[in-house]
Structure 1
Amino acid sequence: MIEPSKESGNTIKLAERRVFSHSFKPLYDEGMGLVEQTAEYLDGKGRAEAKKLSRLAATLYAAESMRLTTRLMQVASWLLLQRAANSGEMTRDQVASEKSKVRLDTASAREDAAGWSELPAAFLDLVNRSLSLQALVRRMDDEIYGERTELSTAASMRRTNPVSDQISLLNTAFARG
């Protein structure tokens, strides 16, 4: 197992201590569990619920589903890298090099986006849980690796540009044929 680094004197970064210890397992389990729950939902109940949506809401659902799966795959990649470091399969430098390929900034549409209120509650729960998990992982990544200066919250990960939201909806609509 990799020992946590000491920043100055005897100060130990708490996030780093958590990631490089046995207390990492619950976070890992939560993240991988959310990935599994999301896949089950999207392949089952979510597919059926999406068919009942208006065209506008269905387009938003499709776009948000892509964002959701992208977000969770990036978080899962980060968690797998940390687990590999924790188990000694990778060095801290190897993890730092590989994690540069991981993006922890996948945004979501805004709650006031057209069609948002029609989206199924179970789907919105998965979106919100994924945003919260991404924000937690991003804060931990910031503390451990120190590459970002701002802390992110689930709310700040919501897209704030309505034009961008509409362009995403249009791209999704035309991609569907």
Structure 2
Amino acid sequence: MTSTGAHPISFAGRAANSPQFDALYAEGMTLVEETAAYLDGPGRAASKLLSARAAALYSAESIRLTTRLMQLASWLLLQRSLNSGEMSREQVIQERNKLRLGGGGDEEGLSAWRELPPGFRDLADHATRLETRIRKLDESLMRGHVQPEPANNQVIAQIDLLQTAFARR
């Protein structure tokens, strides 16, 4: 197989700069707004009617949900900044490494999960599905930016040694 200088197409890169990304971005930001409105309004009222055990779970899961959504919103904003040229790929990767995508648990496995208000459970489920989609896209994007190890080519290694040797004189 000969090298023609062609590079593989980055489908993940195209996906991050597409109408589908715009829809994902809109969905994520809308979910952040809906969750904030729910937690400040109907969720606050519903939490007052919960048992002590369910109220404690609601409080902990509310924090976890808002943290998850802020991480997802940060990722979406980074991608949008890259797409618009506001940030370089290197800057985005550096900032992306500060994010914690994933780490979501199995809420359904919590014994008091079913006691939580249905509106809250719906928002948490939506956030988990959105996170799964974003993580898959992120993994594809990050995989595309890992520099492959150069092949062990003895001729290139010898040329490098010669260049190094003559450059020192």
TM-score by length of 2: 0.78
Pair 1:130-2:127 in alignment: yes
Deviation of the 1:124 alpha carbon: 0.4
Counterparts of 2:141 and 2:27 in 1: how far apart (Å)? 20
Q: Which moved further from structure 2: 21-30 or 63-72?
A: 21-30
**Which residues of structure 2 form unaligned runs of 5+?**
145-169
Pair 1:73-2:74 in alignment: no
Q: What pairs up with 1:46-85 in 2 under 5 angstroms?
A: 46-85=43-82
Counterparts of 1:9 and 1:58 in 2: how far apart (Å)? 58
Q: What pairs up with 1:23-34 in 2 under 5 angstroms?
A: 23-34=20-31
**Which residues of structure 1 form unaligned runs of 5+?**
1-7, 148-177
- Return the match for 2:40 from 31, 43, 46: 43
Deviations 1:126-176 (A, max 9, x none): 0010001111111101000129xxxxxxxxxxxxxxxxxxxxxxxxxxxxx
Q: Name the CA shift for 1:71/1:106 in 2 (closer, same or farther; >3 Å).
A: farther
- Identity of aligned pairs, percent? 51
Which residue of structure 1 lines up, in the alignment, with residue 11 of structure 2? 14
Over alpha carbons, which structure has the higher Rg?
2
Q: Which moved further from structure 2: 53-62 or 111-120?
A: 111-120
CA RMSD of aligned residues (A): 1.7
Counterparts of 2:44 and 2:105 in 1: how far apart (Å)? 20
Deviation of the 1:52 alpha carbon: 0.4
TM-score by length of 1: 0.74
Secondary structure at the aligned position of 2:50 is classed as coil
Which residue of structure 1 lines up, in the alignment, with residue 83 of structure 2? 86
Pair 1:107-2:114 in alignment: no
Secondary structure at the aligned position of 1:111 is classed as helix
In the alignment of these two chains, the number of paired residues is 140
Q: Name the CA shift for 1:66/1:108 in 2 (closer, same or farther; >3 Å).
A: farther
